[in-house]
């Protein structure tokens, strides 16, 4: 089986690590797009839109390519909490997650570019539920100070210090890390027909 080379429209080291771990050849080309939510936009629509916009933005640079865009966010009580702006915001987010279930949503978009033209777009969504244990202020401070929260949706990385506090995961673990690799594979199969 031969996996087609991808252009990863993301600067995320975690997405790159996941692709590398399954032996997928790719080139990184980070997309810098406006990630502002639209008024009354549902979280599911938001992550899929951003994934598509990232893929299309990067795809415009290539003659022939399959471009992968992805966007992950954390949702609690039907509200996107996104990435923290600073350490105080990270602490606020972890307090929200403490003792509660939340959802991690990732939109995935794959586009095929042929002769500089967009030929095919496939977009999907992965949803995973995560339950944090009740955390003390000391534990929250530990996670904020050592978990490098600022570039992570929900201010945590499941594969790092946050693992100490996660009681349950329902769904795709790789989605929580940042890239639901099985969904990527299924969408690639659809593009290749």
Active-site residue identified among 71, 86, 137, 141: 71
Strand duo 101-114 + 65-76: pairing? antiparallel
129 bridge partner residues:
103, 170
Is 86 tagged catalytic? no
Q: Give the Cα separation of 4 and 128 in Å (integer).
A: 27
Strand-strand pairing, 79-80 and 117-132: unpaired
**What are phi and psi for residue 189, nearest 5 degrees?**
-60, -40
79: three-class secondary structure by DSSP:
strand
Query: Could you give the residue numbers annotated as active site?
Result: 71
């Amino acid at each position: 089986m031969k996996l087609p080379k991808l252009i990863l429209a993301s600067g995320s080291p975690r997405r790159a690590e996941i692709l590398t771990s399954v032996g997928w050849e790719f080139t990184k080309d980070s997309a810098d797009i406006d990630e502002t939510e639209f008024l009354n936009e549902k979280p599911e629509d938001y992550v899929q839109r951003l994934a598509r916009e990232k893929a299309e933005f990067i795809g415009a640079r290539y003659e022939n390519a399959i471009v992968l865009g992805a966007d992950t966010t954390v949702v609690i009580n039907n509200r996107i909490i996104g990435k923290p702006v600073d350490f105080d915001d990270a602490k606020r987010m972890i307090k929200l997650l403490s003792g509660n279930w939340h959802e991690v949503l990732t939109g995935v978009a794959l586009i095929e570019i042929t002769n500089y033209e967009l030929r095919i777009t496939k977009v999907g969504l992965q949803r995973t539920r995560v339950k944090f244990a009740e955390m003390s202020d000391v534990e929250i401070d530990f996670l904020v100070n050592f978990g490098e929260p600022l570039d992570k949706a929900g201010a945590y990385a499941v594969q790092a210090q946050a693992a100490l506090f996660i009681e349950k995961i329902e769904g795709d673990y790789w989605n929580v890390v940042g890239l639901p690799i099985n969904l990527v594979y299924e969408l690639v199969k659809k593009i290749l027909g």
